Each structure stands twice: as C-alpha cells, then as structure tokens.
Amino acid sequence: MQNNQTNIQWGIIGCGNVTEVKSGPAFHKVSNSSLVAVMRRDTALAEDYAKRHAVPKWYSNAHDLINDPEINAIYIATPPKQHEEYAIAAMQAGKPVYVEKPMALDMAACRRMEQVSKETGVKLVVAHYRRALPLFISVKELLDQKAIGNIRFARISLLQPDQSAMIAKTGTNWRVDPALAGAGLFYDLAPHQLDLLVHFLGKPTKTMGLAVNQAGLYTAEDLVVGVAQLPNQVLFNGTWCFTTPAGKEEDIFEIQGENGTIRFSVFGHELTIERNGTTATEQFQPPQHIQQPMIEKIVQYFLGNAENPCSAADAIQSMEMMEQFAYGSK
C-alpha cells in the first residue's frame, strides 16, 4: 500500500452469509473505504449480492478479482481451506489482506501466510474483530486497571445443541467438514474466545487438550476440552460441546482474580463484575454491522495511520492453542 493512498477500494472473495450484515455493508460505511467488487464461484449469486449491496462489479474467479486494478485491498471470507491460497496470491499482487478467522486450516498454513507478508512487506490482518467491540475493550481496561486484583484463573464454557441459533447455517454445512474447516464448530467459534483470552491475559506457556466425536452427526470433532498455563502462573480451562441438550446451553467466559470475578458472554452483550461483595452488570449494544469497528481500524492501518489491530503473529497464538487442544499437546 502506497503512503499516498487516500481510499481503500475493497474486493471481497467469498460473499456468503457472513458478509450480508456482519461485514459487507461496513466497507461502504467506513470513511476512506468503498466496496468495488465481490467474488463467488456461482456467478448468479455473485451478481445477486453485488446488485443488492450496490457493488459495481462481480466475479466468479478469485484471481480475476485479485488482479482487478481498481481494487487495492482484499477481504477473504471463504471457508478456511482457501484462506492461504487467496491471501498469498493477494499479497504477492501487492494488495493488503483482511482474512476471516480461523486464519487458516492449520498452523503450517498460518505461518506460510505470515512469512509471505514479511517477505513482500504487504499488510495482513486477521478478523478477530471482537477486540474492537466496546464490551471487550471494557474487559481489557478492567484487567489493565487490576479491578479484580491479580488473576488466578480463567475458564470458558461453550455448550450448544446441534441446532443452536449461534451456529451459522450454510447449504452444505461446510463448518463441520474437516477438509474445509478443520476441527468443526470448535474451529468456527473458539477463535473468537481464545483470541480474547490471549489478548487479555497473554500467550500460553503450556497447552494440552483432547477432542472427540461423540454423536457421529458429522466427521469433525464435537467435544473439545483444553487446559493451559498463561503468564504469571494463571491457569485456564475450556470446554466446547456442540451436542448439548436444548435448555442446557452455556456461553461463559469467566476471569477470577484475587479480589473478584469478571464474567461475560463472548457471543452476547452483557458484562458482570463481582467484587467487595457487590455485583454490577452492564449491557452493551452491538453495532448494526459487528465488524465495522474493526474495519475502521483496518482502513486506517492500510492507509498508514494506525497499528495493525490483529496481526498474523497475534492470530497464530490462539490458532496454536486450538490446534493443541484439538490435535495434541505440548
């Protein structure tokens, strides 16, 4: 990206459901940003999306979009299997990349993407967009202020039924195909949680975990447990189950300190802090387009006016935890 660039002109690769409200419209609404083209393998669906969202151009081939001279930044919102190929092609074409989470199918692919960014000098950002939302900014501030004293432990519990409304629906349900998405719904949802864990409390020094497929509804893992040691001898444990009975759902992220507890839902909008015998709860109103605060930061980063809001190195830390929890320990 040239320093004299004044407007980021985006191309989206993979304009599926995640881009309809969460991200796509925000590219038009952010200052110094516009959405120029979208790509989907089905030309009719790409054209439909473009016309509904007032996007001037559409493609059925990703490399054609990448090489469009009007486009100077790429957002990749395909299944994880394609992230590496398209991100590397875009960076080699000199175009900075915003790639969906998980960053890639596995750690090896993540590191190759990071290396190409370093070699080419082309910017790469990963879509851990919850970092930019007010609820999680507040949690970070509370922790930085030692509002609950020194941290003792943290835990995550994400228990959802197979038909949970939290789980994005697609025609082919690619999220539970290991060849396209890795460890199933764990790889779809846990990146948000574990990125925040690392963002709040630091990179783990030890990790271990186990993953199984209990229900046999698909080939990917449906139950994952993990433990980790974080800096300052803080311990963490997490459980992710995607076959929980209806009515027994949980979405809990809890941080226990010497003087109190911070509790919130990563996929909700409420923050509770308990300390000194009192409990305070605050509700947060999410933005219409939940990725817009992150996209605002990315545009400024691509223009050379701000730091990277979530680098490849940042994303690799939580990706490494996920891989260890699902596929082995260290």
| 330 vs 243: CA distance, rounded Å | 27
Q: What are phi and psi of 266, to 5 degrees?
A: -70, -30
pLDDT value at position 183? 87
The model's pLDDT over 73-85, given as tens digits with 9 standing for 90+, comes to 999 999 999 999 9
Per DSSP, 213 falls in state -
The gap from C-alpha 124 to its chain's centroid, in whole angstroms, comes to 14
What residue spans define the domains of the chain?
Answer: 8-128+290-311, 134-286
CATH architecture for segment(s) 134-286: 2-Layer Sandwich (3.30)
CATH superfamily for 8-128+290-311 is: NAD(P)-binding Rossmann-like Domain (3.40.50.720)
- Inter-residue contact 160 to 241 (CB < 8 Å): yes
- Inter-residue contact 211 to 221 (CB < 8 Å): yes
- Quickly count: other Cβ atoms within 10 Å of residue 245's Cβ: 8
Q: Which residues of the chain have pLDDT under 70?
A: 1-4, 164-172, 329-330
Q: What are phi and psi of 95, to 5 degrees?
A: -115, 125
What is the DSSP secondary-structure string of 130-173? Answer: GGGSHHHHHHHHHHHTTTT-SEEEEEEEEE--TT-TTSPP-SS-
pLDDT value at position 1? 40
Q: What are 303's two structure tokens?
A: 């223009």
Q: What are 51's two structure tokens?
A: 């016309």
The model's pLDDT over 209-260, given as tens digits with 9 standing for 90+, comes to 999 999 999 999 999 999 999 999 999 999 999 999 989 999 999 999 999 9
What contacts 193, CB < 8 A, 6 or more positions away? 156, 158, 238, 253, 266
